[in-house]
């Protein structure tokens, strides 16, 4: 008996995620899976005709696997904005969350309360009523979400749960507790271990601590994802540390949002050679990248690490104390060993406030705000953090376009937004990468600048990240794989989000299917929430 199909997609050019050139084929879905892929010439009757409950005409469109955002920060945003519009409208069907050492679990009662306080300071009300990744996953699935979520366990989150914001090595008992928390998260199904070694408290750790925790994840089949200690002045030492962790822990390495920033601008060639040498030496090093010359981070991340010691309240008191301010300023103007000081490499005019409870500051740079107030820019930073919100976020211009293109062209680099699934309702002027990363790659860097071919770009967004995670049934168009698909017009697909107006959806993405459910139809979100929390195989 011939299987009945819930949907047949006809007439499209299939780019299957492997990197091979496109071909014409009709695709038949049965429930949440791809049930048939049948080669078909345009204008001929579909070999799947007569078997379908519904037909979707894809003439003039590319049919690709749904895009996998290899580096996402939608940990809490999928609960605040479960339709995930900013990502799903680009064709993203899976996000890899819990990056840069920060994960939605594990939580203690104290850290959960602290997370709720920080969210309220941003005008967001969310009950952090879970403690483990398994409980977090259950909450996401019970509420519903429009795309799939794959998690990691964050070093910083684990360290805070075990020893707070202490700037020292852990005791044997504290390290044992951190190892236990990493193991519990891995057993709950996360795909690896992430670090944010530029951020507190990750910056308080040494490499031996990171290796010990990474080894726990490696024993359970996980990969190591790292925001390195430096992407500028200490870039090459940081790459060496990432490679050491991979070698000693015995696991694959993923370098987050690979770049040569600030004082390292122009060194992308050396960076690429360094990574290729590590790969040749037996460590599986790959990376993700967003297609922009500006990054984004919390304003508080630009302060010396010692300012953060003891947690948010202690930091706020330091920022309000004149004598301590003088010390902070001196460190920001000088060189502190082991600390990446972005203010030391870019002018204040390159640092834009992207999210702040005082919305009058959003979209303006620090120098502009300081001039308007008749204040010093350092004091402006201290006042904003100490008197308004420690959760203030920024967009920082610190990269060169030539480096972006050089890194993008590498076979070992995939696509990741380094952004969350924000919405206009949640406010702020976030980095436009939230709305534009994938379509910008397809429009600007494939169609216009030809840095990549279309098949290469799709591979970087689909089959490659799926293989890195070990997803055996997503990321490719294959019979039996889950039906996550993105249908777009290669001649018109483009980003429209800008730094001034970031809450703008792309053009050219026609349909998006998640686990067999039509989630974007004719460029409009259907409201479907067929996404799932994925677990490590």
pLDDT-based confidence at residue 342 (cuts at 50, 70, 90): low
Calculate mean pLDDT across residues 69-88.
97
pTM comes to 0.96
DSSP state, 444? I
pLDDT at residue 269, as a whole number:
98
Calculate mean pLDDT across residues 277-289.
98
Q: Report how far residue 93's alpha carbon sits from residue 476's, in angstroms, rounded to the nearest whole number.
A: 12
Interval 230-259: pLDDT, tens? 999 899 999 999 999 999 999 999 999 999
pLDDT at residue 123, as a whole number:
76
Q: Look at residue 221 and give its three-state secondary structure.
A: coil
pLDDT at residue 1, as a whole number:
42
Which range has the worst mean pLDDT, 74-83, 196-205, 337-346, 360-369? 337-346
Interval 129-185: pLDDT, tens? 999 999 999 999 999 999 999 999 999 999 999 999 999 999 999 999 999 999 999
Q: Report how far residue 480's alpha carbon sits from residue 339's, in angstroms, rounded to the nearest whole number.
A: 48
pLDDT at residue 166, as a whole number:
95
- What is the average pLDDT value for the chain, to the nearest integer? 95
Interval 465-505: pLDDT, tens? 999 999 999 999 999 999 999 999 999 999 999 999 999 99
Task: Give all strands of the β-sheet with 294-298 in edge-to-edge order.
Answer: 294-298, 393-397, 351-355
Give the CA count within 13 Å in the CB-facing half-sphere of 240.
4
Q: Report how far residue 23's alpha carbon sits from residue 19's, in angstroms, rounded to the nearest whole number.
A: 12
Q: Is the separation of the CB atoms in 91 and 510 below 8 Å? A: no
Calculate mean pLDDT across residues 268-288.
98
Q: Report how far residue 8's alpha carbon sits from residue 57's, in angstroms, rounded to the nearest whole number.
A: 9
Calculate mean pLDDT across residues 14-43.
94
Q: Look at residue 351 and give its three-state secondary structure.
A: strand
pLDDT at residue 7, as a whole number:
96
pLDDT at residue 343, as a whole number:
60
pLDDT at residue 537, as a whole number:
82
Give one word for 450, left, alpha or beta, with left for phi > 0 and alpha for psi -120 to 50: left
Structure-block tokens of residue 49: 């005709």
Q: Report how far residue 329's alpha carbon sits from residue 87's, in angstroms, rounded to the nearest whole number.
A: 38
If DSSP states are collapsed to H, E and C, what string results for 222-271?
CEEEEECCCCCCCHHHHHHHHHHHHHHHCCCEEECCCCCCHHHCCCHHHH
Q: Is the pLDDT of residue 341 over 90?
A: no
Structure-block tokens of residue 477: 């168009």
């Amino acid at each position: 008996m011939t299987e009945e199909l819930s949907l047949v997609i006809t007439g499209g050019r299939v780019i299957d995620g492997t990197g091979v050139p496109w071909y014409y084929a009709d695709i038949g879905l049965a429930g949440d899976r791809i049930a048939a892929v049948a080669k078909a010439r345009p204008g001929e009757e579909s070999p799947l005709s007569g078997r379908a409950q519904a037909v979707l005409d894809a003439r003039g469109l590319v049919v690709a696997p749904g895009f996998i955002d290899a580096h996402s920060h939608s940990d809490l945003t999928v609960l605040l904005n479960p339709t995930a519009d900013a990502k799903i409208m680009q064709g993203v069907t899976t996000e890899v969350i819990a990056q840069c050492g920060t994960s939605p679990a594990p939580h203690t009662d104290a850290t959960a309360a602290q997370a709720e306080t920080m969210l309220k300071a941003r005008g967001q009300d969310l009950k952090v009523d879970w403690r483990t990744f398994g409980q977090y996953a259950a909450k996401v699935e019970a509420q519903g979400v429009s795309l799939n979520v794959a998690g990691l366990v964050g070093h910083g989150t684990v360290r805070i749960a075990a020893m707070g914001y202490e700037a020292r090595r852990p005791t044997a008992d504290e390290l044992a507790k951190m190892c236990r928390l990493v193991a519990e998260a891995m057993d709950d199904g996360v795909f690896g271990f992430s670090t944010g070694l530029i951020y507190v408290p990750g910056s308080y750790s040494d490499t031996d601590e990171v290796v010990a925790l990474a080894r726990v994840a490696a024993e359970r089949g996980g990969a190591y994802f790292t925001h390195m200690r430096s992407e500028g002045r200490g870039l090459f030492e940081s790459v060496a540390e990432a490679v050491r962790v991979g070698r000693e822990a015995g696991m694959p390495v993923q370098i987050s949002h690979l770049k040569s920033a600030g004082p390292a601008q122009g060194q992308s060639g050396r960076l690429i050679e360094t990574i290729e040498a590590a790969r040749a030496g037996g460590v599986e090093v790959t990376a993700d990248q967003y297609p922009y010359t500006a990054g984004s981070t919390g304003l508080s991340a630009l302060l010396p690490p010692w300012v953060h010691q003891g947690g948010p309240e202690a930091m706020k008191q330091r920022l309000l104390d004149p004598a301590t301010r003088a010390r902070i300023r001196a460190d920001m103007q000088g060189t502190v060993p082991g600390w990446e000081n972005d203010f030391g490499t870019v002018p204040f005019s390159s640092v834009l406030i992207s999210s702040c409870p005082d919305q009058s500051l959003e979209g303006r740079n620090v120098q502009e705000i300081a001039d308007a107030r008749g204040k010093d820019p350092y004091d402006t930073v201290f006042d904003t953090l100490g008197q308004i919100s420690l959760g203030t976020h920024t967009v920082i211009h610190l990269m060169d376009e030539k480096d972006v293109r050089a890194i993008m062209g590498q076979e070992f680099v995939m696509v990741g937004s380094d952004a969350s699934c924000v919405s206009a309702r949640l406010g702020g002027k976030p980095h436009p990468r939230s709305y534009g990363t994938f379509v910008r790659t397809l429009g600007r860097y494939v169609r216009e600048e030809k840095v990549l071919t279309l098949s290469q770009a799709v591979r970087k967004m689909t089959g490659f990240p799926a293989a890195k995670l070990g997803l055996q049934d997503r990321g490719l168009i294959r019979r039996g794989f889950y039906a996550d698909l993105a249908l777009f017009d290669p001649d018109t697909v483009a980003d429209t989000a800008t730094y001034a107006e970031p809450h703008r959806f792309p053009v050219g993405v026609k349909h998006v299917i998640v686990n067999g459910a039509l989630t974007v139809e004719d460029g409009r979100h259907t409201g479907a929430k067929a996404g799932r929390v994925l677990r490590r195989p």
